[in-house]
Structure 1
Amino acid sequence: MGRARKPFKYYFRQVKGKNIWYYSISPVSGVPFELCEDRKSSHIEAELDGSGKPKRSSEQKIVRFCLNRIRELKDGSESQSPTLAEFLRPYFTPECPHITRVLSDGRRYSDTFRKDQRSRIDRLVLTHRIAEFRMDELTPGDIEDFKKDLRRSGTGTRTINLTVGAIRTAINEGLHRGDIKNDPTVGVHSIKSDEEERGIFSIEEIRKMFSFPGGLRLWGYDTGYHGSPSGEKVLPIIPYTLALLMFATGERPSAILRLNWEDVDSDMITFRVTKAAGARSIPIVTMATKALRELSDSMLHVAPADPVFCHDDTGQRLTYAFFPKRFAHMMATLDLPTNDADGRKRTPYSLKSSLITHLIDGGADPILVREYVGHSHGTGEKRLTKVQSRYKKAQRERLKILLPDIEVLLSAESVVITES
């Protein structure tokens, strides 16, 4: 049996000539977590005896003080609403009530994302005046003003949306648990991205970055690595294959990283979780099937239910965090400018933009291209009933029309990558 936790703790310190009892109130006392007090900011003065030690009466005084303080906090907890800073204190920490519930439900939650969300709260929310607003007084207008202040300070659109999303997640959990009664984020929407159109890669650049096997070195660690040395140590074939699938299928990396080996079938691939229309199966080019085969041959975990993109030693599914560093290394190794000829910024998502642009410029049917990359909202597929399976089969055959065009874009027979 472990030790019983105490409702409060205290200790004596002499600081700058002052004699101080520091104390802390624990949630074990029955005081709501957001109202508990920390020793770093909670103290009262102590009395000393002739030997310089706290008097017995002084120690009894701090004990009585803590008991009375617990009573005050418990009595006032129903009438005194916590501030936003107090309310957010436990969220996106290792003991976060929301994440604890998500994990107990058998779902997953990325620890990297948790740390990033906590960092955004600490940097952007707790340093803003909104942190001192009480939860029962907070309104949607206050959240909107917070968003405006962040935009004026130059904070990026995505960061603002993620920060407000973190606040909304905590508030929804608080409502679920009955900790708060009102939702001040009602009607608060995400900011639409005002980013310029993404830059594209030329056909020659695409062929260079995906040449095989020479192109593998562009995505790996070597003596001339341009990225952070603290990046995840994964085989070069992993970022190579991820980038190739981003280009050759037009799918988002989040959907690609969720692939299991059972989703890969010869020249077909099934994305079971996509942003727009749910699961979809599309044909893929020969180079993509070859890269997946090479990846399978290099990995230990290749059972049907195993992730395609995972740590080889543990089989744990990889997150997107490792990829931007490898992408930056590839760009630097090929000495590619960050902007294209039209001055547009090139990012990993430029791979999809490049595919769409070159297919349409090459004469492919724009509607067919839209279906292939998953932008098929207008096809009416969800409204089909008896003919749905027949329609899907016909759709896959129709999409194969694009494969020769994509093969041409990736063809690298005439491209030679010289070792530096």
Structure 2
Amino acid sequence: MNSFNTKTEYHLIKKKKRSSRSGYVYYAGFLNPAGQPKYLKMKSTGQTNKNAARKVAEQWISQGIMMPDGELSYLAEVWTPDSVYVKGRLARGRSMSKTYIAVSKRWIELHFLPYCEKHSITQLSQLDTAFINRWVIHLWEEGKIGPVTVNKVLQAVKVSLGQAARDGLIPSNPARDVEPVAAQEKERGIFTLEEYKKLFSEPWDDFAVYAACYLAATTAMRLGEIRGLLVKNLDLEKGVVHIRTSWQDNEGLKPPKWNSVSHEEGIPLMPGVRGVLQKILNTHRWGANPNNFVFCDLDNADRPLGKDKITNGLYIAMKKNGIDRKAKNLSFHSFRHTMITNMKDDPRLLRHFARHKQERITERYIHLTQEDTTRFEKTVSDRFSFAG
């Protein structure tokens, strides 16, 4: 039941009390002087009688005490470890890394809030679907970030505004019906065996980076797992590596992504890789103590080798060996894609090396190789040789 008084510029809504299953209380909503949406956040008058609620609302107006509108900074605050949104996700058993939280916050600060400021938008209540849609188109036309990233930024804003609606700061999520832009991620490239021979025939300028990449290429280990590898989880006598830890710069050492049957048997190491890793341990800057990182930071024993140091070292080696990483969309993660692709004909080995919780995730890593194409062409040629 609603009532609106044009003279006092407010309206009343009767709502159930939050503190009990029965009983009602009146909330007052005040006209937004900034424009649309029309009303600011509802504020409880604490009154169950309509006339009494009107007196309270009119008193607030005369004293200038109307519910303040939500500040735009709220959108970035949603993406902090202690926010209601993040804690709510974790309480419901949904994973959310600190890195993802930090990146989402940064996206909003870099790509949404400056656009709002440019257009004199300072309050949550000033945001509407049309404005957010224009912003998305602006990002797409500007071209500073790719379409995939545009959609990720949009999703971060949608989440924040959804939480603002749940917190009662705005009546609804104005970004809910804003559609993402057309985006197709470029398929991750994989290495050929010939490219592997070029890369690993001779050690690189930085032997630790060479060893880290060599290990990734032969085990399908992720970069975080390589960086978080501890000496105690490397068994060179048995020739296996146990993947029990991973490193994320915003979180430190943590358990790795889902591991099937905990991999107590470990991932086997090729003889050549064992020799390389043994050399790493023999020349370890901080000593090969069980809890030290295999690939350690040169200035800090409590941190692993830097992510950028490893990836940049890989890119330098690729350039020296005439491998065009941009044309093929190759990265450190391509080692994992390459290994899984080459294991696709052996389902048991594939599951062991991929270590994915869902089979559909593994399927994304399987690429069409030149051998696959040749085999297909031969099959077609054999079966349709009568034609023509």
TM-score, scaled to structure 1: 0.49
CA distance in 1: counterparts of 2:232 and 2:178, whole angstroms:
40
Retained in 2: the 8 A contact 1:140–1:187? yes
- Give the C-alpha shift of residue 189 in structure 1: 10
Number of residue pairs the alignment of both structures matches: 269
Retained in 2: the 8 A contact 1:90–1:97? no
- Give the C-alpha shift of residue 259 in structure 1: 2.6
Retained in 2: the 8 A contact 1:271–1:279? no
Matched, 1:78 2:74: no
Aligned to 1:135: 124
Q: Which residues of 2 match residues 243-322 of structure 1 at below 5 A?
A: 243-266=213-236, 267-272=240-245, 273-277=255-259, 280-281=262-263, 282-286=266-270, 287-297=272-282, 298-300=284-286, 302-314=288-300, 315-322=302-309
CA distance in 1: counterparts of 2:235 and 2:278, whole angstroms:
11
Instruction: Specify the code of the residue in structure 1 equivalent to 2:242.
Output: I
SS of 1:328's partner is: helix
CA distance in 2: counterparts of 1:187 and 1:256, whole angstroms:
41
- Give the C-alpha shift of residue 206 in structure 1: 0.6
- Give the C-alpha shift of residue 349 in structure 1: 2.3
Retained in 2: the 8 A contact 1:370–1:376? no
Change beyond 3 A, Cα 1:192–1:317: farther
Q: Which residues of 2 match residues 108-123 of structure 1 at below 5 A?
A: 120-123=107-110
Instruction: Specify the code of the residue in structure 2 equivalent to 1:369.
Output: L
Matched, 1:205 2:195: yes
Q: Which residues of 2 match residues 214-233 of structure 1 at below 5 A?
A: 214-217=202-205, 220=206
SS of 1:347's partner is: coil
- Give the C-alpha shift of residue 247 in structure 1: 1.6
CA distance in 2: counterparts of 1:172 and 1:279, whole angstroms:
38
Aligned to 1:355: 339
Retained in 2: the 8 A contact 1:301–1:312? no
Change beyond 3 A, Cα 1:246–1:171: farther
Aligned to 1:124: 111
SS of 2:325's partner is: coil
Q: Which residues of 2 match residues 8-407 of structure 1 at below 5 A?
A: 78-82=67-71, 84=72, 86-87=73-74, 98=82, 120-129=107-116, 132=121, 134-136=123-125, 138=127, 146-147=135-136, 149-154=138-143, 155-157=145-147, 159-160=149-150, 163-164=153-154, 167=157, 184=173, 194-211=184-201, 214-217=202-205, 220=206, 236-237=207-208, 239-266=209-236, 267-272=240-245, 273-277=255-259, 280-281=262-263, 282-286=266-270, 287-297=272-282, 298-300=284-286, 302-314=288-300, 315-338=302-325, 344-360=328-344, 364-366=345-347, 368-375=349-356, 377-378=358-359
Change beyond 3 A, Cα 1:288–1:186: farther
Cα deviation 1:79-133 (Å, max 9, x = unaligned):
3222x2x4357799xxx7859xx9xxxx9967x995x767644441133248826
Retained in 1: the 8 A contact 2:343–2:349? no
Retained in 2: the 8 A contact 1:300–1:313? no
Aligned to 1:407: none
Change beyond 3 A, Cα 1:78–1:245: farther
CA distance in 2: counterparts of 1:268 and 1:352, whole angstroms:
16
Instruction: Specify the code of the residue in structure 2 equivalent to 1:283.
Output: I
- Give the C-alpha shift of residue 240 in structure 1: 1.9
Cα deviation 1:361-420 (Å, max 9, x = unaligned):
xxx4245324322246359xxxxxxxxxxxxxxxxxxxxxxxxxxxxxxxxxxxxxxxxx
SS of 1:270's partner is: coil
Aligned to 2:250: none
CA distance in 1: counterparts of 2:182 and 2:101, whole angstroms:
22
CA distance in 2: counterparts of 1:75 and 1:278, whole angstroms:
62
CA distance in 1: counterparts of 2:305 and 2:258, whole angstroms:
22
**Percent of counterpart pairs with the same letter?**
19
CA distance in 1: counterparts of 2:187 and 2:313, whole angstroms:
23
Cα deviation 1:22-73 (Å, max 9, x = unaligned):
xxxxxxxxxxxxxxxxxxxxxxxxxxxxxxxxxxxxxxxxxxxxxxxxxxxx
CA distance in 2: counterparts of 1:128 and 1:201, whole angstroms:
41
Retained in 1: the 8 A contact 2:243–2:256? no
Change beyond 3 A, Cα 1:167–1:241: farther
Cα deviation 1:285-310 (Å, max 9, x = unaligned):
23333333322232305433333333
CA distance in 2: counterparts of 1:328 and 1:268, whole angstroms:
25
